[in-house]
Amino acid sequence: MKALPEPLKARRAMRDTLLAAILTAMEDGDVFFVTADFGSPVLDLIRERYPQRFINVGIAEQNLINVSAGLALEGFKVFAYAIAPFITMRCFEQIRVNLALLSSVRPMNVSLIGVGAGYSYVVSGPTHQCYEDLTLMRSLPNMQVFSPADQITAELLARACLTRPGIKYLRLDAQVVRPLYEPELHNLNDGFKVHGNSHELCLVATGFMTHTALKAAAHLAKLGLNLSVIDLFDLTHFDTNALLEHLRTARRIVSLEEGFQGCGGLDSLLFNLLSRHAVTAPFLNIGVAPHYRFELGDRQTLHEQVGIGLHTVIEKIQRFCPALPS
Amino acid sequence: MHEYDPALAERLREKADWVWQETLRIHQRAPETRVASSLSPVEIFVTLYYGGFLRQNPADPRWHERDRCIISKGHGSLCMYPILADLGYFPASELERVCLEGSFLGAIPDPVIPGYETINGSLGHGIGVGAGMALALKRRAMDQKVYVVCGDGELHEGANWEAFMFAAQHQLDNLIVLVDNNQICMLGATDSIVSHRDLRAKLTAFGWQVQVVDQGHSCECIAQALATSQRANNGVPQAVIFNTRKGNGVPGLENAPLSHVTPIAPNVLAQLLEAKR
């Protein structure tokens, strides 16, 4: 088997590591890859090596889902691949009916790979940016929702998708991010990773915002506030007790997401969890102000404008902890 | 492969008549069912299920070697309930409980019913899912067919046309779409809403081989068309447009523009069933 070309090894985005894992997995004749005319260099290798199990349905996400469902009903393990807002919203009813509903009564293994979490398609505007997908996918019973923060997690999740039955949504960032984990030491079982051990404030983030959370924690530590950061990459099947164990010890809890604030994403997940288990620590939710915007700028600038930039996050946390020097 | 047999044609006619009556009886007990759109495909289903076209095993509805039949116009397939019960997919006593608490037979069928493959309460999903199944069967070198029975109204959904293009591109000649072309939607004639104009020409332009059966209630004509589709094996997906009558055989309902959710008046139902005795 030919190794990956060197340039692909260097600066790898989540989709590159994930697709490389799928490329290896395609040796299993039961794995099928379906794309809605969305590519990447690694995908070219899949297409070249496995033409019988690689299908491009064209710019047709509804059919992407329907064909994937049909393949899965016949026993194939299917990866369906497209830009995040399109694979979740253009075809939401196909996902609801032919994956979420149907998987209640039929065994299926379908993994939806959506690339372009949050603002990661920085200059492409709100059609290509994606702030609603976690909410929508979470709303569907049976759907397993993953939001990795780095390439390593994305790669491990791709492998896990093959052995976990059911239907899944993987939300990937389109940009190259700093690797956070060592593959050998990274265990997906809990559904989250804890950084730091402070009880002052627990900052729960997901996806790209885990990086912002870690930077905010480093900055605030210098000001005398120690945070623990939780990277919640599995939004549906995390170990509830293990997560609660961390949250119960925190004097304050903050959620941080690259999705609309108060609209059913990570903040709602945490709010429900904390309420249900009578965790009464003060809770602050930081997310994208729920408006569509057309301004251009780099990702950090856009993030500051919508309320989730590093500086804004630091300010919000400082206000949330009034005892702190600002 | 299917061989045409005149004696079989007569049996299919008798069976279709029985299914028509049973469908009315179910509607008599459960008036919330959509009876008009369930009367247009009676002969299509009867020919498919009793005419030797469909490899099936009622004792094992998920039998690996079965031909797949997706009933895309789910709401308009009440007539499948007596057919499936008669063939042994489930006990006939279940027909007494349609729409009642605890029954698996609702006004719109779901795949909790033995014999139903997929979910089709929402329209326009069957052809795409069927295309995926047909592709999978090809890749597994299985010769099973995938039949999809749809209505003409549901072809308004754009996802169908994504699937039509896809099936032609991938030469899915094992995918056979049967259009119950009763030409009436919920609010009137399909032509008066958004016309398909020349559906045959349209599907042909999409790369399908198309037959039109004007006598869509003749089991004999249906059987001939199905046999032709089955034999194709030419790399071209197959469609048959059956021109049918919504509410077939029910005065006041047949071809009535607003028949979709109209129940049949109890006295009319009683008279119709009495006349068949």
- Beta strands of A173-314 (E only): which ranges? 192-195, 201-205, 227-232, 252-260, 283-288
Q: Give A158-201 pLDDT, tens digit per residue.
A: 999 999 999 999 999 999 999 999 988 778 999 999 999 999 99
Write the residue in B110, B127, B132 that is nearest to A69 by C-beta. Answer: B132
pLDDT surpassing 80 at residue A9:
no
A56: nearest Cα among A76, A77, A40? A40
Q: How far is the alpha carbon of A273 from chain B, nearest alpha carbon, in Å?
A: 32
Q: What is residue A10's predicted lDDT score, i.e. its pLDDT?
A: 56
H or E element at residue A82 = strand A77-83
> What is the token pair recorded at A287?
């997310």
Contact yes or no for A97 and B119 at CB 8 A: yes
- Beta strands of B152-274 (E only): which ranges? 175-181, 184-185, 188-189, 209-213, 238-243
Q: Give A264-316 pLDDT, tens digit per residue.
A: 999 999 999 999 999 999 999 999 999 999 999 999 999 999 999 999 999 99
- For domain B6-275, the CATH class is alpha beta
Chain A residues near residue B133 by CB distance under 8 angstroms:
70-71, 73-74
Sorted by where each begins, the domain ranges of chain B are 6-275
DSSP string, B52-103: T-S---TTSTT-TTSPEEEESSGGG-TTHHHHHHHHTSS-GGGGGGTTSTT-
pLDDT surpassing 90 at residue A39:
no
Chain B residues near residue A66 by CB distance under 8 angstroms:
125, 127-129, 131-132, 159, 163
Cβ-defined contacts of A271-277 (< 8 Å, 24+): A273/A240, A273/A243, A273/A244, A273/A247, A274/A247, A277/A244
Q: How far is the alpha carbon of A187 from chain B, nearest alpha carbon, in Å?
A: 34
CA atoms of B93 and B97, how far apart (whole Å): 8
B232: nearest Cα among B185, B166, B172, B178? B172
CA atoms of B233 and B223, how far apart (whole Å): 17
Q: At what angle do helices A61-73 and B126-139 cross, to 10 degrees?
A: 50
Chain A's closest residue to B110, CA to CA, is: A102
Neighbours of B191 (CB within 10 A): 13
> What is the token pair recorded at B260?
């979709």
Q: What is residue A1's predicted lDDT score, i.e. its pLDDT?
A: 41
CATH architecture of A189-320: 3-Layer(aba) Sandwich (3.40)
**Burial letters B134-148, b for 16+ CB under 10 A, else e:** bbbbbbeeeebbbbb
Does residue B165 sit at the A interface (CB-CB below 8 Å)? yes
Residue B201's contacts (CB-CB under 8 Å, 6 or more residues apart) are none
Q: What is residue A325's predicted lDDT score, i.e. its pLDDT?
A: 52
Q: What is residue A185's predicted lDDT score, i.e. its pLDDT?
A: 77
A11-172 with A189-320: one CATH topology?
A: yes
Query: Is A11-172 CATH 3.40.50.970?
Result: yes
Chain A residues near residue B117 by CB distance under 8 angstroms:
73
pLDDT in tens, chain B (277 residues): 456 678 998 999 999 999 999 999 999 999 999 999 999 999 999 999 999 999 999 999 999 999 999 999 999 999 999 999 999 999 999 999 999 999 999 999 999 999 999 999 999 999 999 999 999 999 999 999 999 999 999 999 999 999 999 999 999 999 999 999 999 999 999 999 999 999 999 999 999 999 999 999 999 999 999 999 999 999 999 999 999 999 999 999 999 998 888 889 999 999 999 998 7
Q: Are A249 and A200 in contact (CB under 8 A)?
A: no
> What is the token pair recorded at A308?
């989730």
Q: How far is the alpha carbon of B237 from chain A, nearest alpha carbon, in Å?
A: 15
Does residue B41 sit at the A interface (CB-CB below 8 Å)? no
- State mean pLDDT over A12-27: 95
- Write out A137-205 in H/E/C secondary structure: HHCCCCEEEECCCCHHHHHHHHHHHHHCCEEEEEEECCCCCCCCCCHHHCCCCCCEEEECCCCCEEEEE
Whether ipTM tops 0.95, in short, is: yes
Sorted by where each begins, the domain ranges of chain A are 11-172, 189-320
Among residues 96-125 of chain A, which lie with CB inside 8 Å of chain B?
Answer: 97-98, 101-102, 105-106
Does residue A9 sit at the B interface (CB-CB below 8 Å)? no
Optimal mutation site among B62, B67, B118, interface A, most CBs of chain A within 10 A: B118
- State mean pLDDT over A122-144: 96
Q: How far is the alpha carbon of B111 from chain A, nearest alpha carbon, in Å?
A: 7
Strand order in the sheet with A227-232: A192-195, A227-232, A201-205, A252-260, A283-288
Of the listed ranges A10-24, A162-176, A245-259, B64-78, the one predicted with least confidence: A10-24
* Mean predicted lDDT score pLDDT of chain A: 94
Q: DSSP letter for A234, please.
A: B
